[in-house]
Amino acid sequence: MRTSTLILCIGLCIAAVTVISWFMISADQQRQLVNENAARAIDTTERLDREIGYGGLIHNFKNYVLRPTNSQYYENAIQNAETALQLILELEQIDQGPIQGKPLPETRRMVEEYSGQLQVVHEMASNNASARKIDDAVRFDDAPTLNELQTVVDSLNGAYRAEAGRLERLTRMLMILNVVVGLGTAITLATLNVRQHIKNLQNQVVYIELLGQSGGIWNWNRQTDEVQYAPKFRELLGYASDDTESFPENLKASRDRIHADDIAIFAERLAHQKQTRKPFSVEFRMLDNKDRYRWFRTHAHTLFDNSGTPIRTAGTIFNIEDSKKYEHELQESNQELQRFAFAASHDLQEPLRAITGFSQLLQQRYTNSLDEKGQGYLRHIIEGVGRMKALIDDILTLSRVGQSELEFKEVNLDDCVQTALQNLSQLIRETEPEIRIGKLGTVHGHEGFLVELFQNLIGNAIKFRKPNQTAKIDIDT
């Protein structure tokens, strides 16, 4: 009976290993497939955005409208259009497992219309038409393309989420098999491997969400103060993407919602950009649909005509509310830590002064009553108290970091190492490590912090050595 039971158990284990191996191979194949699709989709989407965005086709087209005598803009725009059409074709032809491409007719139409109108621009410029007249004649509505790209990004995002859910179910099956056959270690490693893949996949999902959802594009006509807001811009503020009644297509809609203390920085950056002609970034607070201020960051650039007059300013906003919250919490935590270090250091001063006083009194009055060994012990006490005082002073200095500037000077690193070794003298006597010290020279820094650095490095090297082995420490440049 026992033999039959053993054979049965062995058979079950073999069957379980076979099933687990099959699932692991399947999971690995799916992982490779998803990684290939994710990398391709993300890369193609980013490249397409660059080719047709305000740094690509649209940028070069608008510059050619303003400067039709500059053929470089024309050539760049043609190249942007050709590359964009190739990327559109790549996105449409994606056909690998659960990731399927989607048609992009609006995006293709916009690219073809922009490239087709370049000759119109050239002919109007030849007839001495003004830049504004040319701009009015060849203006396009980019909103359908933005919506179409958003739909494609959402579709890819949904495919990634579906695949992540499938792998999550596979992980649960592996965990159940772990309980049944008792192969805890092997199954756990496989489970952790799949979970790590899910985490990486979810990070890719978050990346695509940031690419397609977190950023709200805006395009400001500096001549008319009309502003085009992408659907995600309104959604970031809690409005429906098409709610032009509550959030109309003009500058006033956003300017009235910006915090009064942050308006000036916009004017300053716009004025500065007129001189530098470089993109700028601003962090600001803006009212959402529930009249709550939230933190955003915008990256923007301005297009100027030949006379230096701003024509359009376009950019993207991102929600940084959580980042600001964590930054505030970190500042409060650092302040609390500084207060604790300052208070603790002061509390240690009083008993240290008592030890110092009694040690000095003992040395003055009873030195002759102590033998040579006792006098040596007393000297060690006094030296240890001195080092303790230096450490407390360093803690006090550290607690003031951020409140005042640290005093830096030329510091001899050899002296710092010797001081650190003295502070660790008891540990060194107990463990007898092999320590080799080279010539370290001097640096510009804070002596107390450098001593603490060496003390921590040497102490950790001794404490975390292999069992029953002598620590070997080399300190050199």
Tens digits of per-residue pLDDT, 53-67? 766 777 777 777 777
Q: 449 vs 155, 181, 389, 390, 439, CA distance in Å?
A: 54, 55, 14, 11, 20
**How many helices and strands (H and E) does the chain possess?**
16, 11
CA-based end-to-end distance of the chain: 71
pLDDT score at 379: 81
The mean predicted confidence, pLDDT, of the chain is 77
pLDDT score at 412: 93
DSSP 8-state code for residue 213: I
pLDDT tens digits, one per residue of 308-366:
888 888 888 888 888 888 888 877 877 777 777 777 666 777 787 788 888 888 888 87
pLDDT tens digits, one per residue of 270-284:
888 888 888 888 899
pLDDT score at 209: 42
Range scoring the smallest mean pLDDT among 118-127, 176-185, 403-412: 176-185
Is 319:308 a contact under the CB 8 Å cutoff?
A: no
pLDDT score at 274: 85
Q: What is the dihedral of CA 106, 107, 113, 115, to 10 degrees?
A: -170
Task: Assess whether pLDDT exceeds 60 at residue 404.
Answer: no
Task: Assess whether pLDDT exceeds 70 at residue 31.
Answer: no
Q: 320 vs 236, 283, 326, 353, CA distance in Å?
A: 11, 9, 10, 50
Mean pLDDT of 195-202: 52
Say what the pTM is: 0.34
- Which residues make Cβ contacts (< 8 Å) with residue 206, sequence separation at least 6? none
Could you give phi then psi for residue 74, rounded to 5 degrees? -60, -50
pLDDT score at 213: 45
Taking Cα atoms as reference points, which of 210, 188, 146, 162 lies closest to residue 24? 188
Taking Cα atoms as reference points, which of 274, 225, 275 lies closest to residue 251? 225
Strands (E), 69-166: 95-96, 99-100
Could you give phi then psi for residue 357, rounded to 5 degrees? -65, -50
Residue with tokens 């579709």: 155
pLDDT score at 214: 45
Burial class (CB in 10 A: 0-12, 13-18, 19+), 236: buried
Task: Assess whether pLDDT exceeds 60 at residue 450.
Answer: yes
| Helix locations, 225-320, DSSP H | 231-236, 251-255, 260-276
**CA 29 to chain CA mean position, Å:** 30
Mean pLDDT of 293-301: 90
Is 419:387 a contact under the CB 8 Å cutoff?
A: yes
Identify which has the larger pLDDT, 463 or 339. Answer: 463
d(CA 1, CA 15): 21
Taking Cα atoms as reference points, which of 48, 68, 83, 81 lies closest to residue 137? 68
d(CA 406, CA 449): 11
Spell 313-344 as b/e; 16+ CB within 10 A means b. Answer: bbbbbbbbeeebeeeeeeeeeeeeebeebbee
pLDDT score at 413: 93
**CA 110 to chain CA mean position, Å:** 34
Identify which has the larger pLDDT, 433 or 344. Answer: 433
Mean pLDDT of 211-227: 75
Relative to beta strand 434-437, strand 472-475 is parallel
Task: Assess whether pLDDT exceeds 50 at residue 37.
Answer: yes
Kindly report the three-state secondary structure assignment for every residue of 164-205. HHHHHHHHHHHHHHHHHHCCHHHHHHHHHHHHHHHHHHHHHH
Mean pLDDT of 32-60: 72
389, containing H or E segment: helix 372-399
Task: Assess whether pLDDT exceeds 50 at residue 223.
Answer: yes
Angle (nearest 5°) at CA 387 between 383 and 392: 145
Mean pLDDT of 460-467: 86
Range scoring the smallest mean pLDDT among 53-62, 234-243, 377-386, 405-414: 53-62
Is 286:237 a contact under the CB 8 Å cutoff?
A: yes
